[in-house]
Structure 1
Amino acid sequence: MLPLEQHYLFNEFHSPPLNDADFDAKPLILLVGQYSTGKTTFIKYLLERDFPGMRIGPEPTTDRFIAVMYGENEGVIPGNALVVDPKKQFRPLSAFGNSFLNRFQCSLVKSPVLKGMSIIDTPGILAGEKQRIDRGYDFTGVLEWFGERVDRIILLFDAHKLDISDEFRRSIEALRGHDDKIRIVLNKADMIDHQQLMRVYGALMWSLGKVLQTPEVVRVYIGSFWNEPLRYDVNRTLFEDETQDLFKDLQSLPKNSALRKLNDLIKRARLAKVHAFIISEIKKEIPVFGKDHKKKEVIKNLEEIYGKIQKEHSISIGDFPELNKMKENLGKIDFTRFHSLKPKLLEVVDEMLCNDISQLMSMVPNDCSPTTLYEVKGGAFENVKDRVTPFGYKSGEGCNAGYGEMEWIVNKERANSDTLFDSLNPVNGKLSGATVKEELLKSKLPNAILGKIWKLSDVDRDGYLDKDEFALAMHLIHVKLQGNEIPFELPDHLIPPKKKDKVYTC
């Protein structure tokens, strides 16, 4: 396929040639959204920790593209150094110039979640022409490059800001052709009650219908993807189910990555063939003299050339490049560089599509082993080797019913927690999670945080809480409700004196 692309200048119209790093790369997830929709916080929620270079705030704070990837040694790699690394797939991005590379970096994080995938955080999209110009680089062009290579595109919306700005519209339009990769997330849905949520969901679907212009209903995941208490928890069950569905979708990426790459390769080959027909047809139209006048005429009548090629070669109109974009690219290029049709180049690509690709498809296992040992739980991804906690997805329901009778814990002061502990009728000095379920729900904390608190508080790992462990859990919940982070390891002053030798980390 590469000789065909080179002969007809495919990379100058569409995207750079593929290289080994494109095929070796882990699955990529691209996050796109307007400012303050929670893109960076979503990554933090997924990883259950901060990452180098992370900035979160109420106004536009992420002003760069950040590739969050796995690394034994955590740190930040600047854009100029990143694009010369032959082991990473970002070398073609150097074509966007220093203005972009100065706003591009890689954050290396030793997170188990990133062993199976990488995540691209993008700058918050603003409104108006001024912001687009001030970026200093082709923002939508960068999105197009990533859109062709990523496995999943997540468009984030804030439940309080459903308006789609001009630049956001252009960004979504730049991702057309990759509809199968796009997922919509309605974030911060806990900030409104269930009646408002129904109206917001309807308004979002109406807005997306005008931009995406597809007859199919887009899948929208509703939730609150952060580690703070839910403001309205009447929809807690809905949020848990939606989170579970989204994480299942993301977790399928590693084992489906090979098929996705083959699918994109086939799409690229079909586009390259059509491109060759277009360029060779234009070559026929250009005379020896009067090239400039004829060039304008050809560009103006490009739609007629599309129709002619479609009839002669029985090509679906859906395989043709977008008309206006093709006209724009043709206006920038010298037509004397175009070549006539070489049937041999096309025959080789047809042979590849008919035989080589089918052989490759048969080599892909039907159920590839995932590259990570992590499964979906109540919060993000949890090691399957870890003991089940009462905060897992639908714990205590179905086949999980009765497992240690563990459920949630809520925060109180120690004096109050002891009184509460006694009032819940402990058995043999301990409480099961099921006993205190109603109290736990009052905390409004998400499952990811409560799962950490349970793991740290259940020091002896017996699935129950004694009075000391219950008081510890109350303290940790209080710490979180005060806006502080939960530690991964208990500080010495928080370890119950009788259990110093049994403490374990989260």
Structure 2
Amino acid sequence: MDLAIVPFDSFPKDQQMLYQEWFNYADSDGDGRFTGSDATKFFAMSNLSRQDLRQVWAIADTKRQGYLDFQEFVIAMQLMSAAQSGEPITHDLISSDFPPSPSPSISSKWFASKSSQKIPASAVTSIIDGLKKLYIQKLRPLEAIYRFNDFVSPLLTNSDFDAKPMVLLLGAHIGPEPTTDRFVVVMAGPDERSIPGNTIAVHADMPFSGLSSFGSAFLSKFECSQMPHPLLEEITFVDSPGVLSGEKQRTQRAYDFTGVTSWFAAKCDLILLLFDPHKLDVSDEFKRVISSLRGHDDKIRVVLNKAHQVDTQQLMRIYGALMWSLGKVLNTPEVMRVYIGSFNDKPIDYADNGPLGGELFEKEQDDLLLDLKDIPRKACDRKINEFVKRARAAKIHAYIISHLKKQMPSIMGKTKAQEKLIANLEGEFAKVQREFHLPPGDFPNVEEFREKLRGYNIDKFERLRPKLIDAVDDMLGYDIPNLLKTFRNPYG
């Protein structure tokens, strides 16, 4: 049975008030986060076994953030009520005929005692809060001194950590018009409205300030569409303009399209490459875009849409041709996951594809939807993964910058020395790799780094500061593992 959370608004008013009262009581520091520490004190009064409470927490902490928000707290309370009535604790309990009313035996003794100990205002109450603190204290100083924000990625803000998971849609432009060159972010809002790009880029509550670096030419082709929808409360979608193909490639874009795509790819949790069975050729621009996704291979999924328009035999040939084309561009030994079907909200007659085609399309659509539904649950893990990747990239960047600085003469011949270093950048990368025993796959693209390096005076770069490197090493080796340990399931 699927996990279908009952909307809190559907509960009777007295039940809503009771759950809210419990949550306010149990939330020790009043920040709207019911932590593992809160749980060990509050849930103990349920008299359930540790094994039962471990299962309750595992189901209720749907996003693996290490704390429960109010909705998740309500789920936990529902599960415990059912467990006290003798029901086994499973996801199946959370269904359309759930929850049972809170047990009277609970409400009479639930507030029997409460610790007066308060968590300091500066304390970390979630994994994301911990990452914010570590970034400000240990990683951001390294990034700022070695200009990581100029070469690789803008400095992070609170909104980058707090942002909902995002899905990026990329595909070839099929229509007859020259181009529809516009990025559209679709996200939750109180009403339906459109926000222009320049406004989004300076909005403190949105994680798009880094796009300002692409200039007004891009921001004029960027907008946000807000609307109230339950799905958008969990996921934000980024719809990109169609990638140009054929003669359209001669149209020059007024901004760095590949750079913008790469920026979104780093921020997104899932990247969907969309293909049409009648347009499988991978254009030069699409190749550049796909190449810019390297390093994010685990996020990429391929969607072969409109598959009902061809018969089964044609579909097999098209699938083979698509995999062959992608294999040349992606250049990875792993086979990319491809979803085959016709993904829209209109009923489709699969008669021409035979019974196998119809059954296949339905299963593929279900698999894709499961992949999308799984995104919010994995969002916290993804943020941790991206944070660690960023920290390692920042370390390597610091090594490169300080190494180049070290090769510069102290007095004469600085211009020629810089030209020589830039020309032999691949060799300099190899020296850094050998000196610090770094994996070659973690180094930036040589050509892209060389192009950016031309705009700087290497002599003005900073020398290596071991204390900054040590701080990041401590963060990766001790602080982050301890953070994850702190916010794991409080019942083991």
State the TM-score, normalized to the length of structure 1. 0.66
Residue identity opposite 2:157 in structure 1 = N
CA drift at 1:230: 3.6
Task: Specify the alignment match of 2:182 in structure 1.
Answer: 64
- Mapped to 2, the partners of 1:320 and 1:130 lie a distance apart of 34
- Mapped to 2, the partners of 1:149 and 1:283 lie a distance apart of 31
Task: Specify the alignment match of 1:281 in structure 2.
Answer: 403
Residue identity opposite 1:348 in structure 2 = A
1:259, 1:361 within 8 Å by CA — same for their partners in 2?
no
1:132, 1:139 within 8 Å by CA — same for their partners in 2?
no
CA drift at 1:16: 0.2
Structure 2: which 5+ residue stretches go unaligned? 1-138
CA drift at 1:92: 1.2
Number of matched residues? 347
- When residues 180 and 192 of structure 1 are mapped into structure 2, their CA distance, relative to the original with a 3 A threshold, is same
CA drift at 1:292: 2.0
Is 1:106–2:224 an aligned residue pair?
Answer: yes
- Mapped to 1, the partners of 2:460 and 2:218 lie a distance apart of 29
Q: Deviations over 1:333-389 (max 9, x none)?
A: 22132111000000111011011111233355579xxxxxxxxxxxxxxxxxxxxxx
2:435 aligned to which of 312, 316, 330: 312
Percentage identity across paired residues of the two chains: 52
* Counterpart mapping for 1:478-489 below 5 A: none
Is 1:27–2:165 an aligned residue pair?
Answer: yes
Q: Deviations over 1:35-78 (max 9, x none)?
A: 13xxxxxxxxxxxxxxxxxxxx6656642100000112111011
1:128, 1:167 within 8 Å by CA — same for their partners in 2?
no
- Mapped to 2, the partners of 1:328 and 1:209 lie a distance apart of 28
1:266, 1:353 within 8 Å by CA — same for their partners in 2?
yes
Runs of 4+ more than 3 Å apart: 57-62, 128-133, 230-233, 363-367
1:242 aligned to which of 364, 374, 381: 364
Task: Specify the alignment match of 1:151 in structure 2.
Answer: 269
Is 1:177–2:295 an aligned residue pair?
Answer: yes
1:259, 1:364 within 8 Å by CA — same for their partners in 2?
no
Q: Secondary structure at the match of 2:264?
A: helix
- When residues 230 and 125 of structure 1 are mapped into structure 2, their CA distance, relative to the original with a 3 A threshold, is farther
- When residues 326 and 170 of structure 1 are mapped into structure 2, their CA distance, relative to the original with a 3 A threshold, is same
Greater fraction helix: 2
- When residues 203 and 22 of structure 1 are mapped into structure 2, their CA distance, relative to the original with a 3 A threshold, is same
CA drift at 1:171: 0.5
Residue identity opposite 2:469 in structure 1 = L
1:225 aligned to which of 343, 356, 380: 343
Residue identity opposite 2:377 in structure 1 = K
Is 1:338–2:461 an aligned residue pair?
Answer: yes
Task: Specify the alignment match of 2:379 in structure 1.
Answer: 257
1:62, 1:122 within 8 Å by CA — same for their partners in 2?
no
CA-based RMSD = 1.8
- Mapped to 2, the partners of 1:33 and 1:363 lie a distance apart of 42
More displaced 10-residue stretch of structure 1: 97-106 or 288-297: 288-297
- Mapped to 1, the partners of 2:148 and 2:247 lie a distance apart of 30
- Mapped to 2, the partners of 1:353 and 1:129 lie a distance apart of 48
CA drift at 1:20: 0.7
1:35, 1:59 within 8 Å by CA — same for their partners in 2?
no
- Mapped to 1, the partners of 2:316 and 2:488 lie a distance apart of 42
- Mapped to 2, the partners of 1:324 and 1:111 lie a distance apart of 43
* Counterpart mapping for 1:132-171 below 5 A: 134-171=252-289
- Mapped to 2, the partners of 1:345 and 1:185 lie a distance apart of 43
2:425 aligned to which of 289, 302, 305: 302
Residue identity opposite 2:156 in structure 1 = L
- Mapped to 1, the partners of 2:158 and 2:474 lie a distance apart of 21
Task: Specify the alignment match of 2:14 in structure 1.
Answer: none
Residue identity opposite 2:401 in structure 1 = I
- Mapped to 2, the partners of 1:348 and 1:131 lie a distance apart of 47
Q: Secondary structure at the match of 2:432?
A: helix
Task: Specify the alignment match of 1:465 in structure 2.
Answer: none
- Mapped to 2, the partners of 1:275 and 1:264 lie a distance apart of 16
Is 1:268–2:386 an aligned residue pair?
Answer: no
Residue identity opposite 1:279 in structure 2 = I
Residue identity opposite 2:145 in structure 1 = H
CA drift at 1:233: 4.3
Residue identity opposite 2:402 in structure 1 = S
Task: Specify the alignment match of 1:422 in structure 2.
Answer: none
1:35, 1:60 within 8 Å by CA — same for their partners in 2?
no
- Mapped to 1, the partners of 2:335 and 2:455 lie a distance apart of 38
Task: Specify the alignment match of 1:7 in structure 2.
Answer: 145
1:118 aligned to which of 232, 236, 248: 236
Is 1:326–2:464 an aligned residue pair?
Answer: no
Task: Specify the alignment match of 1:349 in structure 2.
Answer: 472
- Mapped to 2, the partners of 1:207 and 1:180 lie a distance apart of 19
- When residues 344 and 133 of structure 1 are mapped into structure 2, their CA distance, relative to the original with a 3 A threshold, is farther
1:4, 1:276 within 8 Å by CA — same for their partners in 2?
yes
- When residues 317 and 85 of structure 1 are mapped into structure 2, their CA distance, relative to the original with a 3 A threshold, is same
Structure 1: which 5+ residue stretches go unaligned? 37-56, 368-506
Task: Specify the alignment match of 1:466 in structure 2.
Answer: none
State the TM-score, normalized to the length of structure 2. 0.68
Q: Return the structure number with greater relative CO, CA threshold 8 A, min gap 6.
A: 2
Is 1:362–2:485 an aligned residue pair?
Answer: yes
Q: Deviations over 1:151-203 (max 9, x none)?
A: 00100010111000010000001111100111000111111000000000000
* Counterpart mapping for 1:89-100 below 5 A: 89-100=207-218
1:28, 1:118 within 8 Å by CA — same for their partners in 2?
yes
- Mapped to 2, the partners of 1:115 and 1:321 lie a distance apart of 35
- When residues 349 and 329 of structure 1 are mapped into structure 2, their CA distance, relative to the original with a 3 A threshold, is same
- Mapped to 2, the partners of 1:112 and 1:133 lie a distance apart of 39
- Mapped to 2, the partners of 1:76 and 1:289 lie a distance apart of 56
Q: Secondary structure at the match of 1:252?
A: helix
Is 1:216–2:334 an aligned residue pair?
Answer: yes
1:223, 1:243 within 8 Å by CA — same for their partners in 2?
yes
1:191, 1:230 within 8 Å by CA — same for their partners in 2?
no
Q: Secondary structure at the match of 1:6?
A: helix
Q: Secondary structure at the match of 1:30?
A: strand
